[in-house]
Every structure is written in C-alpha cells, then in structure tokens.
Amino acid sequence: MDNGFVYLNFLFLAIIALLPFPSDVLGSYGDQAGAVILYAIAISLASITTHAMWVYASRRKLLVPGASGDVLNARGRGFVVTGVFLASIPVAIFVGAREAEYFWILIWPAQAIVGHKTARSK
C-alpha cells in the first residue's frame, strides 16, 4: 500500500458514505428520471473508483503474486456495472424512470458472461 492507493481508497469511501442520499432520493422519487439519474451516477462513480484502485494497485505492483486473473475478473465486472448504470441514464431520459431501473437487471447476466470469458482466458 502507498499514499496514492490510500487517497483512492478515501475517495471510494467518501462516495460510499454519500450513497444513502441518492438511495433515499431513489426510494422517494423512483418514478422520476432525475432520481434514477442521480443514483446511476453515484453507483457509476463508486464503480469507477473501484476500477481505478485495481488499476493503480496492479500497476504499482501492490497485489499479491498470482492475482492477475482476479484483477481481470474484477475489472471486467466493474466495467459491466459502470456500463449498465451509465447506459440506463439515456433510458431514464428518453424512455422512462422505471424502465431504466429494470435495465439494471442486465448487470447479472452481463457479469456472468464477463466472468465466464475471463475464466476461459486463464
């Protein structure tokens, strides 16, 4: 661990600490696009920060030996979360808030596909 990783970790924890607010907004106004967009942005920021920590740790050789496959799997799964939540924003704007929330269900099959492809490449 080094200072850069600690700063990234603090950023991630700050985003996580703020998640109750967009969660509450989504719970109260889930039928409105603004609430869905706020929540999607918050989750995307948390996912992007997690990805940044993995990249930083792997480039700085902070991972235990043999962790490269785990890093690829975690990074791929993180891309799925970020991609699905960011893709749900235009759905919320142009189609509807509820449809954007249903769009989030795509995370599970997409992660299964990414995990399967990562496992095959090991």
Measure the CA dihedral 71/50/101/23, to 10°.
150
Q: From residue 37, give the alpha-carbon distance in Å to each of 11, 52, 94, 97.
A: 21, 22, 12, 9
Q: Residue 117 — very low, low, confident or very high, per pLDDT cuts 50/70/90?
A: low
Question: Which residue, among 37, 28, 15, has the nearest Cα to 101 in the 3D structure?
Answer: 37
Percent of the chain with pLDDT over 90: 66
d(CA 11, CA 22): 17
Give the residue numbers spanning the domain of 22. Answer: 3-121
Number of domains the chain contains: 1
Answer for the pair 92, 100: CB distance below 8 angstroms, yes or no.
yes
Q: Residue 119 — very low, low, confident or very high, per pLDDT cuts 50/70/90?
A: low
- Give pLDDT tens digits for 37-68: 999 999 999 999 998 998 898 889 888 877 66
Written as one letter, the residue type at 108 is W
Q: Residue 4 — very low, low, confident or very high, per pLDDT cuts 50/70/90?
A: very high
The pTM assigned to this predicted structure is 0.87
| Strands in the chain per DSSP E | none
Question: Which residue, among 1, 2, 8, 7, has the nearest Cα to 53 in the 3D structure?
Answer: 8
